Amino acid sequence: MIAIGSDHGGFALKQEILEFLKQNGYEYQDVGSYDDKAVDYPDIAKKVAEMILSGEAERGILICGTGIGISITANRYAGIRAALCHDCFSAEATRLHNDANILAMGGRVIGGELAKKITHTFLTTPFSEETRHLRRVEKTFFGEGFNGSGIVSCGQGCGCGR
Ligand code: RB5
């Protein structure tokens, strides 16, 4: 299952990616938004992140205007590895090296055809499972500064949740 969501800035591109997923037989759930009215991208990032963390979805796709806000937000959920990719090399590398589970893109940055190729690359490239990449992915999530409670900690023990 692929969880997919966008804010208003990513809505038009999401429609093209939904078409791509449909045509290629992917099972997906669109968590919104369902029109181009302004919404807050953290609300969409949360829905996709939660579907992955609960095991409902294996991969996610998040689109906002730049892809930046929505990927920053998604990466605050422990266990989420959201990669902002606007080229196929990065989409392949982030699967091979980072085992990224969310692809983020900017609907105001790239066009539909490139976005579809990036999506195809992201969804068809496996994690390499190589020891050095496994070690680095583990360090990212279990190293100092992370409180392990579902949201990244600033490491200062202040309880700010950042
Ligand atoms: C919305 O105008 C825009 O700020 C949002 O889509 C995204 O680009 C934020 O990072």
Is any atom of ligand 1 closer than 6 Å to the C-beta of 68? yes
Choose the residue to mutate in 43, 66, 71, 75 for probing ligand 1, maximizing ligand atoms within 8 Å of C-beta: 66
Task: Find the domain containing 90 and state its range.
Answer: 2-142
Per-residue pLDDT reduced to its tens digit, 58-88: 999 999 999 999 999 999 999 999 999 999 9
For the question of whether the overall pTM of this predicted structure is more than 0.95, the answer is no
Tell me the one-letter amino acid at 95: R
Total structural domains within the chain: 1
Tell me whether residue 160 is in a domain. Answer: no
Residue 124 counted as domain residue: yes
Distance (Å) from CA 64 to ligand 1 centroid: 6
CATH number at residue 47: 3.40.1400.10
Q: Residues 20-41, buried b or exposed e (16+ Cβ, 10 A)?
A: bbeeeebebebbbbeeeeebeb
Q: pLDDT digit string (tens) for 20-66?
A: 999 999 999 999 999 999 999 999 999 999 999 999 999 999 999 99
The C-alpha atoms of residue 55 and residue 73 are separated, in whole angstroms, by 19
**Does 118 map to a domain?**
yes
Q: Quick check: is 85 catalytic?
A: no
d(CA 9, CA 48): 17
- Domain membership of residue 35 (yes or no) is yes
Q: Does any domain span residue 155?
A: no
**Is 157 a domain residue?**
no
Give me ligand 1 centre to Cα 39, in Å: 10
Catalytic, out of 86, 88, 97, 120: 97
* 64 is an active site residue: yes
Mean pLDDT over the full length of the chain: 91
